[in-house]
């Protein structure tokens, strides 16, 4: 969490104040909800290990996967606007998160301008990711949506020091379809097509990008 929160140029003497705000890590078992839509917003989180999906419940009771967060990424920013979470966060596998109580973090931001700027930047990145996903679901074909998801996950893994070519999809085909706005069958057919064209190799949820450039051209 310190790596996520730490703005560049922060004086060393303020580091203990930041660390005093960060709570110890908490485990989240597979299938467990870290928080649910409508819960009061009290904390921000950073994923230490594992992966967590965000889910929104529609008026008719159906659930839609709205995002995937992996190790090294923040979680809980959806609650900033209304002081209540707009979605649920559910562990896709056994995971652990760092917890940051929002009230003392906000107090720290009032005292340290660079901290406030960093928090606003995290919120801005969250909004940009949500808007980018809306654009993908509104304007792209199924092949383009799946290719874009694979490339985005590749880039996010690389940014955090993991392999950009071999990684886990984390989500089931059904969850991925919900996230991308297509059916389970479409996801399975698209992934199988990419494999036949030797763009990727699949083993269950494990994927290896064989030709990222060809994926970008989809």
Q: How far is CA 22 from CA 46, 134, 166, 169, in A?
A: 10, 32, 32, 29
Q: Is residue 104 very low, low, confident or very high in pLDDT (cuts 50, 70, 90)?
A: confident
Q: Is the Cβ–Cβ distance between 84 and 41 less than 8 Å?
A: yes
Is domain 2-130 classified as CATH 2.60.120.10?
A: yes
Q: Where in the chain is the domain with CATH 1.10.10.10?
A: 140-216
Q: Is residue 93 very low, low, confident or very high in pLDDT (cuts 50, 70, 90)?
A: very high
CATH of 140-216, one of 2.60.120.10, 3.30.2130.10, 1.10.10.10, 3.10.129.10: 1.10.10.10
Q: Is the Cβ–Cβ distance between 40 and 84 less than 8 Å?
A: yes
Mean pLDDT score, 31-57 = 93
Mean pLDDT of the chain: 86
β-bridge mates for residue 87, sequence order: none
pTM for this prediction: 0.83
116-171 pLDDT per residue, tens: 777 787 788 877 777 777 766 667 899 999 999 999 999 989 988 889 999 999 99
60-70 pLDDT per residue, tens: 878 899 999 99
184-196 and 142-159 helices, crossing angle to 10°: 70
- Is 133 or 76 the better-scoring residue by pLDDT? 76
Q: Is the Cβ–Cβ distance between 92 and 30 less than 8 Å?
A: yes
Q: Is residue 3 very low, low, confident or very high in pLDDT (cuts 50, 70, 90)?
A: low
Q: Where in the chain is the domain with CATH 2.60.120.10?
A: 2-130
Mean pLDDT score, 163-191 = 93
């Amino acid at each position: 969490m310190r790596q996520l929160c730490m703005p560049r140029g922060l004086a060393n003497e303020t580091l203990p104040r930041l660390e005093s705000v960060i709570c110890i890590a908490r485990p989240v078992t597979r299938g467990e909800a870290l928080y649910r839509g409508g819960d009061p917003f009290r904390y921000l989180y950073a994923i230490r290990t594992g992966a967590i999906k965000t889910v929104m419940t529609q008026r008719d009771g159906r659930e839609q996967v709205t995002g995937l967060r992996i190790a090294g990424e923040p979680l809980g920013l959806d609650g900033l606007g209304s002081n209540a979470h707009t979605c649920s966060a559910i562990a896709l596998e056994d995971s652990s998160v760092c917890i940051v109580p929002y009230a003392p973090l906000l107090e720290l931001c009032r005292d340290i301008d660079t901290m406030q700027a960093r928090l606003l930047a995290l919120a801005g990145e969250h909004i940009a990711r949500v808007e980018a996903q809306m654009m993908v679901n509104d304007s792209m074909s199924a092949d383009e949506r799946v290719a874009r998801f694979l490339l985005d996950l590749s880039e996010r893994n690389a940014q955090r020091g993991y392999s950009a070519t071999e990684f886990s999809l984390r989500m089931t085909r059904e969850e991925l379809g919900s996230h991308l706005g297509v059916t389970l069958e479409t996801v399975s057919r698209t992934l199988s097509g990419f494999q036949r064209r030797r763009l990727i190799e699949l083993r269950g949820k494990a994927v290896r990008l064989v030709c990222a450039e060809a994926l970008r051209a989809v």
